[in-house]
Amino acid sequence: MKTLNDINFKNKQALIRVDFNVPLDEHFNVTDDTRIEAAKPTIDKILAEGGSVILMSHLGRPKGAEGKYSLRHIVKKTSEILGVEVKFAEDCIGDKAKSAADALQPGEVLMLENLRFHKEEEAGDTAFAKELASLGDVYVNDAFGTAHRAHASTTIIAQFFPNDKCFGALLAKEIESLNKVLKDSEKPVTAVLGGSKVSSKITVIENILDKVDHMIIGGGMTFTFIKAMGGKIGNSICEDDKQALALEILEKAKAKNVQVHLPVDVVAADAFSKDANTKITDVREIPDGWQGLDAGPKSLENFRKVILESKTILWNGPLGVFEMEPFAKGTIELGNYIDEATQKGAFSLVGGGDSVAAVKQFGLEPKMSYVSTGGGAMLEMLEGKTLPGIAAIQD
């Protein structure tokens, strides 16, 4: 894996693909600068070595050059975070980009206008990628959030830097963390898979069955399994057409010696509402008119035991409807168990969509070994796919 350490950036112009797709308020102020902070180590290192930096990113989903999606809005914030005055080019290709890039001195940073103002970016256009490539000496990909897209700036561009391309620190860390879970993991390995549907997680489940010792299944997915096994699930969420698949997964798990842990009890509610009446029921005996919206106390006790015995933990998907306070406990408790296991030396990785939102919301983020920055990209890696943005650097 070629990283920043393998390249000497002195007097080199580094063209870095970052993911600065940050949320803005109605006055175009950055409301969450996590992604900018996340790119700082890479930028700092290149500047400290005597290089210059050109930042390229997308922002939102513009249809052509729409002012509200201009990266100009985040120049000030980026300057503050880097402690360097960031210059801005009003286009990412053409004369404006070229002259700004030519004028850049070692130690300086230039931000290009939104890549997606040109439809060629998402189309993965080679001529567009070549124009971008002409701005720098070295290509660095530090955008995990878009690594699963074969766009011009994330993948196609790499071919113009056959020897001068590498992963940024953030992307390298993402790959390394995932490898710690799926490749060089310390056993026992436990995957916790929650969320709403079996259908959206099926490829992940199938891929990781070969790599884990325990699989905890929770969230809305639970009920497709329980119904398939003959349980009464009341009005709980269920994908009837996935019942056969659920049984197949359980069979495969057995054959591969993977222990599957499903909830044994749930917090059931008489409506999908935070004001609903609730009661604890056996997961196989949920009355009609009631639905399971969180893992119950006995389930949590079981999950705790499994988690505390684990040396490697992967968590994807909440255990309940954590967005509503009465059904958040399972997800919070699970986070606490993983925290406990991590303190005892386990490696814990949280990734792929809603579980990241949950750990942030409950202040658990600093307690996990690693929290991934890319929802879709992480899910695709868990599915065992090769991400084009990663493959392009490894080629």
- The residues that touch ligand AMP, with contacts defined as CB under 6 A, are 195-197, 200, 219-220, 237, 292-293, 317-318, 320-321, 323, 353-354
Q: Collapse the DSSP code of 303 into the 3-class scheme (helix H, G, I; strand E, B; otherwise coil) and give the result.
A: helix
Q: Which two tokens stand for residue 370?
A: 């690693």
Closer residue to ligand AMP (CB): 168 or 234: 234
Closer residue to ligand AMP (CB): 356 or 390: 356
Q: What's the closest the beta carbon of residue 78 comes to ligand AMP, in angstroms?
A: 30
Residue indicated by tokens 């001195």: 105
Q: How far is CA 87 from the centre of its chain?
A: 29
> Which residues in the chain belong to E strands, given as ranges?
13-17, 52-56, 86-89, 109-112, 138-141, 165-167, 189-193, 214-217, 232-233, 259-261, 265-269, 278-282, 285-286, 291-295, 312-316, 347-350, 370-371
Closer residue to ligand AMP (CB): 212 or 392: 212
One of 353, 374, 375, 389 is an active-site residue; which one?
A: 353
59 annotated ligand-binding residue: yes
180 annotated ligand-binding residue: no
Closer residue to ligand AMP (CB): 248 or 323: 323
35 counts as catalytic: yes
Q: What's the closest the beta carbon of residue 220 comes to ligand AMP, in angstroms?
A: 4
323 annotated ligand-binding residue: yes
Distance CA 345, CA 323 (A): 30
User: Residue 234 burial (CB < 10 Å; 0-12/13-18/19+)?
Assistant: buried
Q: Which two tokens stand for residue 177?
A: 């963390």
Distance CA 111, CA 33 (A): 16
353 counts as catalytic: yes
351 counts as catalytic: no
Residue indicated by tokens 């386990």: 346
355 annotated ligand-binding residue: yes
Q: What's the closest the beta carbon of residue 254 comes to ligand AMP, in angstroms?
A: 25
197 counts as catalytic: yes
Closer residue to ligand AMP (CB): 62 or 374: 374
Residue indicated by tokens 């969320």: 195
Q: What's the closest the beta carbon of residue 351 comes to ligand AMP, in angstroms?
A: 11
Q: What's the closest the beta carbon of residue 323 comes to ligand AMP, in angstroms?
A: 5
17 annotated ligand-binding residue: no
Which is it for the CA torsion 145, 60, 395, 42, positive or negative? Answer: negative
Residues at the annotated binding site for substrate? 19-21, 35, 58-61, 116, 149
Residues at the annotated binding site for (2R)-3-phosphoglycerate? 35, 116, 149
Residues at the annotated binding site? 19-21, 35, 58-61, 116, 149, 201, 292, 323, 352-355
Catalytic residues: 35, 197, 353, 376
